[in-house]
Amino acid sequence: MRALWAVVHRWVGLFLAAFLIMAGLTGAVLSWDHEIDDWLNADMLHTPGRGQLQTPLQLAQAVQAADPRVEISYMSLGLREGEAASFLVRPLMDQGTGKPHVLSYNTVFVDPVTGAITGHRDSKSLALSWRNLMPWLRHLHESLLSPTFAGSDRWGYWFMGGLALLWLADSFWALVLTLPVKRKGGALARSQKAGGKSWWSRWLPSWRIRWGAGAYKLNFDLHRAGALWIWGVIVVVAFTSFSINLYREVFYPVMSKISTTTPGPYETLKPAPFGSYIEPQIGFAEAIGIARKEAMRLGIKTEAGGIWYGGDFPFYNVSFFDPDDETGAMGMGLSNVYVSSESGEVLGSYRPWHGTGADVFVQLQLPLHSGRILGTFGRVLMSLVGVMVAMLSITGVVIWWRKRRARRGQLVTP
């Protein structure tokens, strides 16, 4: 059986290597996405205006007045002096062609004091530039920059979610291969009577790195011991990669079958066919007012920080968070209120640490994956683990390559 696990681990590892190198390195960088983005695009994200803030709805009007081809999908609500308000936009229909206008951007940044537009970017662009570096890396990390085809933009997420499941299984096969070979009962008893090593002492070398034993042994030890030292974190990252990417398709349906969950509108309603748009019957201003009243009733303490209407679901998603710390304590600082875009009815809410045990487990997936569950230490840890995952993949390929050369009759240092 051990030989079988070795073969499985070898070929699964080779298949996953390139993807894990990419995911590990991009994940290490994305732990600091806001800080890096602020540094790269300070001219766009830091604003010179000082004084009375305009309202989000006034800024939204300025965005639409600057380009009549667009309408707002998302707007910042928690405005801060010196920080650009962000607006996501979608193209309106071109009456001449009957098709949506072609835009070179989907995000607009606005000075909340003066209303001046400080910059644009296309967060979904496949072209790489300083302006969209962090959104580009996130898109690559989550979905391999997968374009829309066959009526869906989810192909990349499905593929990466499937790879995460395979990675999760492979992490257990790899763990088995580090364990000491079992001895037969009689042999083990005689060995112990004669002062032989215990099972734990025979496993201990797997955790050590022989720094001065030559390149081949060092590479092998980095692969084996490195994986053991971060094995628990790898399991968490692999599982949460699966749960986030395949949330609607697999994770939540399974959770709702095996435990008690409290479904919200994202879980109970089906999205409109891809490419279609559900026209809202109420506007942003009314939805914000309804959501704020509901947040007060629920005891949500943070202010409304943003509102989203994508048109694929018939409701507004109004988010409540601290603009100075969007993820909040332990990465669980975001609350949502869902308001029907047809009737203004409150369809549900999302509040961290509320609901059943299964609800809280579902809520923890992103904080666990990002490391924000442990604050700054967790972000540092995830950056380190991302680099180590890339290292484990590279050393695994080197081990395979050296053994392949040996099988072809070339000398390999023992």
Residue closest to 80 by CA, chosen among 305, 293, 345, 298: 305
**How does DSSP classify residue 235?**
H
Task: State the average pLDDT over residues 382-395.
Answer: 98
Tell me: pLDDT of 180 over 70.
yes
Lowest mean pLDDT among 48-62, 254-268, 338-352, 397-411: 397-411
Residue closest to 146 by CA, chosen among 134, 133, 161, 131: 161
- What confidence tens digit (pLDDT) does each residue in 119-159 have? 999 999 999 999 999 999 999 999 999 988 888 889 999 99
Tell me: pLDDT of 185 over 70.
no
Nearby residues of 404 by Cβ (< 8 Å), 6 or more positions away: none
Task: State the average pLDDT over residues 116-121.
Answer: 97
Using CA atoms of 38, 41, 46, 48 in order, give the dihedral in degrees to the nearest 10. 160
**3-class SS shares of the chain: helix, strand, coil, % to 5:** 55, 15, 35
Beta strands in 49-129 (DSSP E): 70-76, 85-91, 93-94, 99-100, 107-110, 117-121
Task: State the average pLDDT over residues 268-279.
Answer: 91
What is the Cα Rg of the chain in Å?
Answer: 26
Q: Are 344 and 287 in contact (CB under 8 A)?
A: yes
